[in-house]
Structure 1
Amino acid sequence: MIILEIAIVLGAIYLGARMGSMGVGFAGGVGVLILTAGLGLKPGNIPIDVILIIMSVITAIAAMQVSGGMDYLVSLAEKLLRKHPKQITFLAPVVTYFMTLFAGTGHTAFSTLPVIAEVAKEQGIRPSRPLSIAVVASQVAITASPISAAVVFFSGILDPFGVDYLVLLAVCIPSTFLACMVGAVVANLMGKELADDPIYQDRLAKGLVKKRGTTQITIKPGAKRSVMIFLMAIAAVMVYATAISDKVGLIVNPVLPRDAAIMVLMLTAAAAITIFCKLDASEISNAGTFKSGMSACVCVLGVAWLGDTFVSNHINEIKDLAGNLLQSQPWLLSVTLFFASMLLYSQGATTKALMPAALAIGVSPLTAVASFAAVSALFVLPTYPTLLAAVEMDDTGSTRIGKAVFNHPFLIPGVVTIATSVALAFLFGGMML
């Protein structure tokens, strides 16, 4: 029966991957239906907390986008990239990393990818190099963002083990950022020089490669104000989390737990942006970030529910099978998370589905924290939206997906980045935990 149930879980994930986008969530619901109504398993926990955090954060980000705040941030990123164009392969991941860290969603990379591709072309640099590591950095940074659903949920289940929110960030931020820089070094060595690439030369001869030049972005009057409000909300989240942490203890028995505080502060930020930037609230639901965020909620709902349904019904078997192995070979947790996230398409869903089970079977908090970055292997299958966008925006043909599916420029820099992050997190975590 367990083999049949695993086949159903994998089949649902495969079906979702074929449908794409929210289809992953739809297929997760189908899997839950078959496992429960069909095979009699007890339904797992619905990841309501993760979904509500995503919704509240995305609402504030969408309000900031409508007010022009995202355009303002992109204009700052473009100035940085054009000021040091020869260093595009190293600056591009810095930009996408910190935009994701700041916003709590990797979809912010969409707005910077065209700039990265254009600056690379202007300098005769193979665009696949900066684009590949920029996409990877935008995914890995989720595990270091103070307001991402994955970080907030993971810190919550780590609290009983004496690892609070601030310690988790103190390990994850430096380890993931330094790992992205190592990934950039690897990406900079990938592929032929642009001038030597026959596919580029063929496209150039056919007139398929266009030079757009500097883009002119009109900054709306309330753009800077919306960014400041959003920054203040993030700062408030950090300050409040510090004040209520057991190690600081400035606020004892807080009225609002951390998760609820994040939701309240993000919704308040959305309200403040709407009021002070004079927005029409009805426009916010049409923002690209809002649509992608709500799509992510559906994916997390279906996939994480499916994963928890299977795991919660077989936690004892999993403990007997994997407990001793993970105790003796702790690095295998990162491998498990890597392949799971490759299929689940969501850091939040992977964290919700597997991390509680890992801690329940006796995996040490250090191992769990160090392996956390491995939930970001969304770049392996060339079907993730930001990856596809990077391929589409590079008209030189250098950022291409090979016939073997896995032979694309994102794979090696991504694997190196995650492996380095896990190794560094074991090092930093060993000092702090």
Structure 2
Amino acid sequence: MTSVSSVASAERPMAVSTIASQMGITASPIAAAAAVVMATAATNQLDITLGQVLMVTIPATLTGVLVAAAWSLKRGKELNEDPEFLERMKDPQFKEQLIDRSEISTGATGMEADQKAKRGLTVFLLGILTVICVAMFGKDLGLLPAGVSTSTALQFLMLSVGAIILLTTNVDPKKIVNTNVFIAGMSAVIIIFGIAWMSDTIIAHNKPYIISLVEDVVKAHPWTFAIAMYASSVFLKSQAAVLTIMLPLGFALGIPAEVLIGVLPACYAYYFFPFYPSDLAAITFDRSGTTKIGKYILNHSFLIPGFIGVLVATFIGYSLSVGLLPIWLWAIAVVALVFGVNSYMNRLSTETLKLA
């Protein structure tokens, strides 16, 4: 929500928050992308654990998000200096819709909904912990039945957690299928599956030809595989779909496992065209109109923070994975970045108070 008195452009947090939400998928132990990585590694007889993957993807994506957020602090103009916003403020209807008149329910119904939300969140968090434990220690502790792969077990676990949440919160299933999130999610599943199957079919059929084209370049410069993943993601609109198609190709090209793990952040590039549901939602939520798609489509609010975040995350991930960047040096750099941004924000707040 953007108030009339606010001078900070809502585009700054809104754009980078959607980028952060998608970059987090790369580092999530319960995301489909992680399951694809584990399944592909197992298919290629590589002993890669979820812990090894997360030790690279979490620091890498965190750094990318922090750098993109730091850049976003001063992007664009303040609202009281933005000519487009000031022109829209001349419209009484536009000015009126910026004021939030919603009231928070404090009655019995509101308290009951709050309790249901707490129960659902508790089950969800416990489910995440269970998935992480099974993914990291399932084989060593013998938690998985014979013949059941880790990726299959994680899928069953996550479906079970969803069922438990449904039972403990007494949510009407009929209402779920009519929610915007469910409709958007199921639509995305169908669309992404279609694109992924088509792409996988084409690549599988032409794999020898594709390998012959890029083999020499990739063997000489393995990091260039990140460019191929990035280009694929622009059109596939799914990190899991990109990894499903590109990781087997990477193994076929003989790219070392540590390189493939290091360039995993490059599987997110579908911010390039601003038609992903999270991007459209951010545009809708920003009533000030600063988060937008430009006249030429590609000059939208998400392009630059997305490019910065993914580029930095891929560079850090590759450097950590192949041993170019020690983890302790990364930690020092991140702490310095956080303190620098915090110092800047404190100074900015002080200047704002003086002006007021």
- Which band: TM-score by shorter chain? 0.7 to 0.9
Number of the residue aligned with 1:177: 62
Q: Does 1:250 align with 2:141?
A: yes
Number of the residue aligned with 1:201: 86
Contact 1:341/1:347 (<8 A) preserved: yes
Larger radius of gyration: 2
Number of the residue aligned with 1:392: 284
Number of the residue aligned with 1:129: 12
Q: Structure 2 matches for 1:46-61, cutoff 5 A?
A: none
Q: CA deviation at 1:378?
A: 1.4
Number of the residue aligned with 1:211: 99
Q: CA deviation at 1:254?
A: 3.6
Q: Secondary structure at the match of 1:286?
A: coil
Q: CA deviation at 1:130?
A: 0.7
- Worse overlay, 410-419 or 164-173: 164-173
Letter aligned with residue 191 of structure 1: G
Contact 2:271/2:302 (<8 A) preserved: yes
Q: CA deviation at 1:214?
A: 7.4
Q: CA deviation at 1:215?
A: 6.2
- Unpaired runs of at least 5, structure 2: 327-356
Q: Secondary structure at the match of 1:222?
A: helix
Cα gap change, 1:122 to 1:356, in 2 (>3 Å):
farther
Question: How far apart are the structure 2 equivalents of 1:282 and 1:390?
Answer: 27
Number of the residue aligned with 1:192: 77
Contact 2:6/2:79 (<8 A) preserved: no
* Residue in structure 1 matching 2:205, options 287, 301, 313: 313
* Residue in structure 2 matching 1:380, options 254, 272, 295: 272
Number of the residue aligned with 1:97: none
Number of the residue aligned with 1:118: 2
Contact 1:143/1:172 (<8 A) preserved: yes
Q: Deviations over 1:32-91 (max 9, x none)?
A: xxxxxxxxxxxxxxxxxxxxxxxxxxxxxxxxxxxxxxxxxxxxxxxxxxxxxxxxxxxx
Q: CA deviation at 1:222?
A: 1.4
Q: CA deviation at 1:122?
A: 5.3
Question: How far apart are the structure 1 equivalents of 2:162 and 2:294?
Answer: 42
**Identical positions, percent:** 29
Number of the residue aligned with 1:264: 156
Q: Does 1:233 align with 2:138?
A: no
Question: How far apart are the structure 2 equivalents of 1:400 and 1:266?
Answer: 35
Q: CA deviation at 1:201?
A: 0.5
Q: CA deviation at 1:274?
A: 2.6
Question: How far apart are the structure 1 equivalents of 2:188 and 2:142?
Answer: 33
Q: Does 1:139 align with 2:139?
A: no
Q: Secondary structure at the match of 1:272?
A: helix
Contact 2:10/2:291 (<8 A) preserved: yes
Q: Structure 2 matches for 1:289-368, cutoff 5 A?
A: 289-368=181-260
Question: How far apart are the structure 1 equivalents of 2:28 and 2:156?
Answer: 18
Letter aligned with residue 165 of structure 1: L
Q: Secondary structure at the match of 2:17?
A: helix
Number of the residue aligned with 2:38: 155
Q: CA deviation at 1:319?
A: 1.4
Letter aligned with residue 46 of structure 2: F
Q: CA deviation at 1:137?
A: 0.7
Q: Secondary structure at the match of 1:390?
A: helix
Contact 2:192/2:241 (<8 A) preserved: yes
Cα gap change, 1:275 to 1:184, in 2 (>3 Å):
same
Letter aligned with residue 239 of structure 1: C
Question: How far apart are the structure 2 equivalents of 1:341 and 1:373?
Answer: 11
Question: How far apart are the structure 2 equivalents of 1:199 and 1:180?
Answer: 28
Question: How far apart are the structure 1 equivalents of 2:196 and 2:69?
Answer: 31
Q: Deviations over 1:307-362 (max 9, x none)?
A: 11111111111111112211222232222222211111111221212221122111
Question: What is the aligned length?
Answer: 313
Contact 1:381/1:405 (<8 A) preserved: yes
Number of the residue aligned with 1:167: 52
Letter aligned with residue 212 of structure 1: D
Contact 1:190/1:409 (<8 A) preserved: no
Q: CA deviation at 1:139?
A: 1.3
- Unpaired runs of at least 5, structure 1: 1-116
Question: How far apart are the structure 1 equivalents of 2:223 and 2:99?
Answer: 46
Cα gap change, 1:402 to 1:323, in 2 (>3 Å):
same
Question: How far apart are the structure 1 equivalents of 2:218 and 2:101?
Answer: 52
Q: Deviations over 1:155-209 (max 9, x none)?
A: 2212433322221112111210121010011122321222111001011122313
- The TM-score normalised by the length of structure 1 is 0.68
Question: How far apart are the structure 2 equivalents of 1:211 and 1:285?
Answer: 31
Q: Structure 2 matches for 1:29-40, cutoff 5 A?
A: none
Q: Secondary structure at the match of 1:408?
A: coil
* Residue in structure 1 matching 2:303, options 383, 403, 411: 411
Contact 1:199/1:397 (<8 A) preserved: no
Question: How far apart are the structure 2 equivalents of 1:254 and 1:313?
Answer: 35
Q: CA deviation at 1:293?
A: 2.3
Letter aligned with residue 290 of structure 2: S
Q: Does 1:223 align with 2:114?
A: no
Question: How far apart are the structure 1 equivalents of 2:239 and 2:311?
Answer: 16
Cα gap change, 1:393 to 1:226, in 2 (>3 Å):
closer
Question: How far apart are the structure 1 equivalents of 2:294 and 2:217?
Answer: 36
